[in-house]
Structure 1
Amino acid sequence: MKTNNNDSVHSKPPMTEPLESQSDSKSRITRRAVLGVGLATATGAGATGYAATRYLRAESAPESQEHPESTDGDPDQQYHLTATIGELDVAPGETIETWLYNDQYPGPELRVEEGERVQITVENDLPEETSVHWHGMALKDANEMDGVPGVTQPPIEPSDEFVYEFDVAPTGTHWYHSHVGLQLDRGLLGPLIVEEADPHVEYDREHTIVLDEYLASEPEVTSEGMGMMGGFPGAPPYDGTLVNGKLPSEPDTLTVMEGERVRLRFLNAGSATTYRVAIAGHPMEITHADGPGVEPVEVDGFDIGMGERFDAIITANEPGTWEIQVHPLGEEAPAGRATLQYEETDDEEPRDELSGSQLLDYSDLRAVDSLDQYDGSPDYTIDLDLSSGGMMGGGDEDEWTINGQAYPDADPLRIEEGEHVQVQVTNHSPMRHPMHLHGHHFEVDGALQDTVTVPGHMGQRTLNFVADNPGDWFFHCHNLYHMETGMVRVFEYD
């Protein structure tokens, strides 16, 4: 019997970097496209309005804000979110003014059951336009609900509202967040959980764990990676790491009972940071990746890129209080932590010794459901090169590009309904790029995900998906500052 219990790190040397897996698939290609390098011209780099300016220039921008009528009867669940300015208490005596959903951070957990239809009214009490993207949702036949202003909807103007309605799928751990400018880095985010009717693993209770950066100032595009390689558009220096909205000086506490199997839903809601996660004294079984189930694989830690989700089950057989350790990778930001505390324990100071050093690799993941639809030769293969504008010669130095083009001055990726599409991504930059596809999950190394990190220094990933959900779908880096400065393409098909 599972129950829903949503009680909602000290710096240590991180475990050894995992081997980066690469696909060696050499499938026969019946139709192949290598998109050319084009000249991109970016305009504007304001801290709050840059992406809105870019996106609203898209030629496909909707002209009206009419709410689509429900075609499937009344929704099973209804929620109301208000985007507003509020205060966030991150530690004793440390409060900042920021932007929130329903005056809380993370935003309220929206929980629905498999097969349900949900209606979410979003009210904008901010001084500028906004929108909400439902990260991980397939939105079958509901492209207009995807929340990308200038592509699937007009932005929600101040003092206005928009009603999102869709069938929830797939099951698992997902999230919602603003898709305008740098608003995500102000705190406009929250978990979206779709409960399975029949989970493939058993557990007794669960906790949702949201990882994020702490930025005490307003977000703005800055320069990172200074040195021989020059500078790249990136995030400002962060002041800390938040775990469920708390700094490590007063960490969030997750309670368990001895003998329980506990499902931990990890979500990296950060804007620019990859985290390494481990739980002192407890190995983990990874059971889900970006929502869909995987065959359980035991690890001692894992890396999680921006936008990614991993669910892990631990067996609570070590009474006491233990650290959940969260270390930024390749960043100077301070580490974060939460505590795992057994009920009726007398231990107040958390223990920090790790159980081992086995790290998760994408190649360890094997989907529970059949992947037969991704077998065989793809109908269409697209080669995409990720780079900064200056490195590839196809854009400006203050841009991030895909095949030398920076969005919105970038060609759409035209595909056909029903095609098996293969995307071969090569990263020409030294930075990690977590690439996210809206409206679809793709097969990568034997599992289904909607976000996958492409390692730097010529790292590669091969993604396969079936074009079974017509519409205009964003494909972009989920480093907010890379997306903001152009690392975006749009898959289009009718």
Structure 2
Amino acid sequence: MWRYLFALFIWLKCLFPLASAGLLQPSARHHPDVRRFEIDLTWQNASPDGFERKVILINGQFPGPQLDIIEGDEVEVVVKNSLPVETAIHFHGISQQGTPWSDGVPDVTQRPIQPGQTFIYRWTAVEYGSYWYHGHAHGQISDGLFGAIVIRPAEDRPAPFEKISDSIQGLKKIKQAVSKPTPVFVSDWTHLTSEEYMKAAMESGIDNFCLDSILINGKGSVICKPQDELNSLTRPDQTMLLGNETVTDKGCLPFYLPTVVGDFPIKPEKVPEDVYYNCKPSGGQHEVITVEPADGWASFDFISSASIASFMLSIDEHKMWIYAVDGHYIDPIHVDGTPIPNGNRFSALVKLDKPFRDYTIRVANFASSQLISGFATLRYKGQDGTPKPSNPSMGYNGVNLTTDYVLLDENKIAPYPPSKPAAIADTTYKFDIGFFGAAFRWTVSGKSALNISQDIDPILFDLDGPLATNKNLTFPTKNGTWVDIILKTDGLFNPPHPMHKHSHKVYVIGKGTGQFPWDTVEDAVKEVPQFFNLETPPLVDGFTSPPGSEKEPGWVAIRYEAINPGPFLLHCHVQTHFAGGMGVVMLDGADKLPEVPPEYLKAEF
């Protein structure tokens, strides 16, 4: 009997290991198939880049602890709001199949969690792969409210690893590596809190301030480079916008340039001191990721939690096999570097076949607004002693340094196993995205800006409410139908926008420059088929619109099947753009909306 009980104890211990640093295991299983996590949000002082400011800590850490889940699990996340302000948490990329009340968007799927309140999010892990959770109220991502989600795939889940290695031993080591991926958050950071940032933006009329640092897994430093070096690093896209000016000592485009703020009025005196100028170096902790070379391979989930920046990433002297994007497997692509737009996740395998020493992980902002980079270290365990610099393939400005450099082409991402959308959509929406009357106001629909956290009854609770009935912001679809959305970028200078569709993954079926005069994609394909891919299009929950202007507009077309009824956002993941109104609500499956459980209607658990 004792031998049986001891064996049972060991089995349970293996199944539900204790929490470790950065990994939040279930606190208890109230039901055999339920994983329950408890997180406490607090507002405390921290110094991620050597400068102390208030930060949202999750269970006392930043970034928050990882939620470790298995495909098919039922999940409960108990959130205690110990912040001085209201909050909400969105589980980015999770479909919320049958649980739209757990999508985490104030005014849309829930009431915000008030200070001192506890809220329980419940959902089913029908996905597998790399995801993340983050704040979805008041720009709280930029205060540190985010953490990783890793959902281990079911054992019978088809995987593309034979396309990377065809040897039995190689496949074994690859599978071991992907069973324990290392999440790597790449973030931008400012010394202003999200509230201070938005207040300054609205008062000054400027929406895109300078960053202070780039963090990797919440660690980094403020880097100040000499003006001559900054001038030499300035890229052609920035030179075009600068005219006769130079970047500031923080590497920023000056805020007063017409190419930056357009014709909108600004109040320079309301711009906080030291935001664009007076770079002051400071040193925070440096992230070191140690790998065991005997493992043969390492797997990384690169996650962009950026508020503003758009990143390029590379690892010195190491190519990467990108094998999953936004959680789902793709046909693997061998690259030297990859873009990581805001909110997206790129899973990569790295072969550990180099000399045992340190190699620099480089993360550069590729948005035109600023020259800034962050760094971490990939360290081989058992390194051979004297440190020496590794050879970069990408510069501080995100530009490749070698002639054979291969950058991931997002247009060539193909789902694995192969899948494709329906040949024709049932419904088409065309939106004009961009500025909406001010440099800090933005729109998706082209007709109105979306204000979140107005303390109104959520759409899910009240279909007769002000947001649900606003035909400029809320757009219905029928359950089981295919939906096309065409986003057009023209008007004033329109930068690329990293867009995110809640709940449903979307096929990116077309992208081009020029006007989009057609009523439907079907009409467009007849005239310009070269701009479309209906056979192997990327399947993602985040995609980037092309830049546009009056002289050279652009457009992108997505297609998805509305199979999960509920009100779900489509919005820009640049935090200032979303806070400035850049979103719409797709009322998916409006004819089949589920009944909301009483505890969510009352927010009493």
Q: TM-score, normalised by structure 1?
A: 0.79
In structure 2, give the amino acid aligned to 1:210.
F
Give SS of 2:193's match.
coil
Equivalent runs, 1:143-182 vs 2, <5 Å: 143-182=100-139
Residue 365 of structure 2 is aligned to residue 328 of structure 1: yes
Residue 340 of structure 2 is aligned to residue 340 of structure 1: no
CA distance, structure 1, for counterparts of residue 218 and residue 439 of structure 2: 34
- Paired residue for 1:90, among 38, 48, 58? 48
Residue 96 of structure 2 is aligned to residue 139 of structure 1: yes
CA distance, structure 1, for counterparts of residue 191 and residue 176 of structure 2: 37
CA distance, structure 1, for counterparts of residue 415 and residue 386 of structure 2: 39
Which residue does the alignment assign to 2:198?
A: 221
Equivalent runs, 1:444-455 vs 2, <5 Å: 444-445=508-509, 446-455=537-546
Which residue does the alignment assign to 1:401?
A: 443
Which residue does the alignment assign to 1:31?
A: none
- Whichever structure has more strand as a proportion of its residues is 1
CA distance, structure 1, for counterparts of residue 431 and residue 482 of structure 2: 17
CA distance, structure 2, for counterparts of residue 333 and residue 78 of structure 1: 42
Equivalent runs, 1:40-439 vs 2, <5 Å: 75-91=33-49, 94-198=51-155, 199-201=159-161, 202-205=174-177, 206-219=181-194, 220-221=197-198, 234-248=207-221, 249=283, 250-258=285-293, 260-319=296-355, 320-329=357-366, 330-332=368-370, 334-345=372-383, 346-354=385-393, 356-372=404-420, 374-390=421-437, 396=438, 398-402=440-444, 403-408=446-451, 410-428=472-490, 429-439=493-503
- Whichever structure has more helix as a proportion of its residues is 2
User: Is the Cα contact below 8 Å between 1:436 and 1:452 reproduced in 2?
Assistant: yes
CA distance, structure 1, for counterparts of residue 369 and residue 580 of structure 2: 20
CA distance, structure 2, for counterparts of residue 238 and residue 129 of structure 1: 25
CA distance, structure 1, for counterparts of residue 123 and residue 505 of structure 2: 17
Deviations 1:55-92 (A, max 9, x none): xxxxxxxxxxxxxxxxx96652110111111232425x
CA distance, structure 1, for counterparts of residue 119 and residue 565 of structure 2: 22
In structure 1, give the amino acid aligned to 2:546.
P
Superposition RMSD in Å:
2.3
CA distance 1:286–1:459, change in 2 (3 Å): farther
CA distance, structure 1, for counterparts of residue 386 and residue 501 of structure 2: 44
How far is the alpha carbon of 1:352 from its aligned partner? 3.6
CA distance 1:424–1:187, change in 2 (3 Å): same
In structure 2, give the amino acid aligned to 1:468.
I
Q: TM-score, normalised by structure 2?
A: 0.65
How far is the alpha carbon of 1:449 from its aligned partner? 0.6
CA distance 1:404–1:357, change in 2 (3 Å): farther
Deviations 1:337-375 (A, max 9, x none): 111111111243441422742111112211003424x13
CA distance 1:120–1:305, change in 2 (3 Å): same
User: Is the Cα contact below 8 Å between 2:214 and 2:373 reproduced in 1?
Assistant: yes
How far is the alpha carbon of 1:455 from its aligned partner? 2.3
In structure 1, give the amino acid aligned to 2:380.
Y
Q: Unmatched 5+ residue regions in structure 2?
A: 1-16, 23-29, 162-173, 222-282, 394-401, 452-469, 510-536, 593-605
- Structure ranking higher on relative contact order (CA contacts 8 Å, 6+ apart): 1
CA distance, structure 2, for counterparts of residue 397 and residue 208 of structure 1: 35
Deviations 1:252-308 (A, max 9, x none): 111123251111100000111100101110111111110010010111111111101
Give SS of 2:424's match.
coil
Deviations 1:101-126 (A, max 9, x none): 11111000111011111111000001
CA distance 1:432–1:209, change in 2 (3 Å): same
Which residue does the alignment assign to 2:561?
A: 466
CA distance, structure 2, for counterparts of residue 218 and residue 363 of structure 1: 35
In structure 2, give the amino acid aligned to 1:361.
D
CA distance 1:288–1:347, change in 2 (3 Å): farther
Deviations 1:126-157 (A, max 9, x none): 11111100000011010000011111111111
